[in-house]
Amino acid sequence: MLKHELPPLPDHPDPHLLASWDRHLAAQLSANTRRAYRDDLATFAGWTGSHAVTLADVDGRAVREYLSWLATRGNGGQPYARTSVTRKLAALRSFYAYLQRRGWFEVTPIPSARALKVKMPRPLPRFLGRTEAARLMAAPPVWTPAGRRDRAILEFAYGTGVRLGELAALDVADLDRHRVATVVTGKGGHSRRVLYGVSARASLDLYLDYGRPAILAGAGEVGDGAALWLNLEGGRLSRRSIAKMVRRHADAVGLASGVTVHVLRHSYALAHMAPPALPENSGISRTFGATAGVFGQASDFSGKATSGSSPARVRRQGPYQPALRQAPSARSCPPFSSRRLG
């Protein structure tokens, strides 16, 4: 029930109200989650506008109609993924809880998570088998700074299982090249230490010793000296640019569409399903558990859900780990000059 003594509630989320809500969330959620919530509320605002529903009109029935729309045709005529629908509902619940806190509602019209559960078919995880992973890792050319960077990113993502946001946020200072490890900051601002393996080390050393300095030399004084992954202008490589790069190289070697950093995360988890058990502090344990839960026990894979090799085959072959390559010396591989950056 609305409190009528308060100023009128806008019919739809306006910029001022959204900015106020975002400031309220800043103390609770990470920047990435807040950005996703803002996008989710934009989806809801689009639905209310097209269905002539105001913020005050929303009730349990409207929420169910909205969820049905998301699950069937909300994504440009296609259904949203189960995880996206669940997150959009969480964003809506958070927004109305904020409106309730401000005094516009005595009781939030959004049902609780216990009262309203999103039940949708859960798709099997996508992953790459050993051969597919090897093809993807070899796709970027190593004779250009950008190619060295791309190969290092692919090897690092597949060798650690980190998330896209964690990958994009890495700084050079986060690396411990002597111990072949790095510190990543994940959900909730929690940091953890992960090893990145011998194959990623070879590609990363090549990028850090030759590729990255060449990019910085071409960028001049505007280069970002802290960021690990740089674009050709010397700035930090964005999440979107990394995602596009992965898709571009996957398409170039003929892999099925939909290869993402998260697919590499699942691939890492599946490649390590054989004993010894994955360490709890590896940063992949939750993905490993979810992946194993979908596929079943490691000893009883059906191999039906593949974008390539079956999980059983990946388990027998083990993770992709090419022989450690010796980083070239300065004499055999001189740094690129800025004139060759194009």
Integer angstrom CA distances of residue 19 from 15, 47, 48, 100: 6, 20, 19, 16
Domain span at residue 257?
Answer: 130-340
Average pLDDT, the chain: 78
**Of the candidates 252, 302, 298, which has an alpha carbon nearest to the alpha carbon of residue 275?**
298
pLDDT at residue 4 above 50? Answer: no
Residue 76 belongs to a domain: yes
pLDDT of 69 reads 92
More confident residue, 335 or 20: 20
**Of the candidates 159, 161, 156, 150, which has an alpha carbon nearest to the alpha carbon of residue 319?**
159
Sheet of strand 181-185: strand arrangement = 175-176, 181-185, 191-195
**Residue 175: which H helix or E strand, with range?**
strand 175-176
Residue 9 belongs to a domain: no
171-189 pLDDT, tens digit per residue, is 999 999 989 999 988 777 7
Residue 95 is encoded by which pair of tokens? 């927004």
> For residues 207 and 147, is the Cβ–Cβ distance under 8 A?
no
> For residues 157 and 280, is the Cβ–Cβ distance under 8 A?
no
**Domain boundary at 61, 84, 102, which?**
102
**Residue 183: which H helix or E strand, with range?**
strand 181-185
In whole angstroms, what is the distance from residue 265 CA to residue 127 CA? 8
Helical axes 145-160 vs 212-219, angle rounded to 10°: 130
Residue 264 is encoded by which pair of tokens? 């590499």
pLDDT at residue 155 above 60? Answer: yes
288-336 pLDDT, tens digit per residue, is 555 555 444 333 333 333 334 334 433 444 444 443 344 444 333 444 3
Q: How far, in whole angstroms, is CA 19 from its chain's centroid?
A: 24
- Examine the domain organization and report whether 232 and 296 are in the same domain: yes
- Examine the domain organization and report whether 142 and 234 are in the same domain: yes
pLDDT of 116 reads 66
35-62 pLDDT, tens digit per residue, is 999 999 999 989 988 888 888 888 888 9
- Examine the domain organization and report whether 178 and 73 are in the same domain: no
87-111 pLDDT, tens digit per residue, is 999 999 999 999 998 888 888 888 7
> For residues 259 and 167, is the Cβ–Cβ distance under 8 A?
no
| Number of compact structural domains in the chain | 2
Please compute the mean of the pLDDT values over residues 149-154 and round it to a whole number.
96
- Examine the domain organization and report whether 31 and 97 are in the same domain: yes
- Examine the domain organization and report whether 149 and 186 are in the same domain: yes
pTM: 0.59
Local confidence band at 214 (pLDDT 50, 70, 90 cut-offs): very high
In whole angstroms, what is the distance from residue 271 CA to residue 158 CA? 10
- Examine the domain organization and report whether 97 and 135 are in the same domain: no
Please give the full DSSP string across 102-145, using - where no structure is assigned.
HTSBSS-SSPPTTTS------PPPP---HHHHHHHHT-S-TTSH
* Residue labelled with tokens 């997150």: 87
Phi and psi torsions of 224, nearest 5°: -90, 105
Neighbours of 11 (CB within 10 A): 14
CATH of the domain at 44: 1.10.150.130
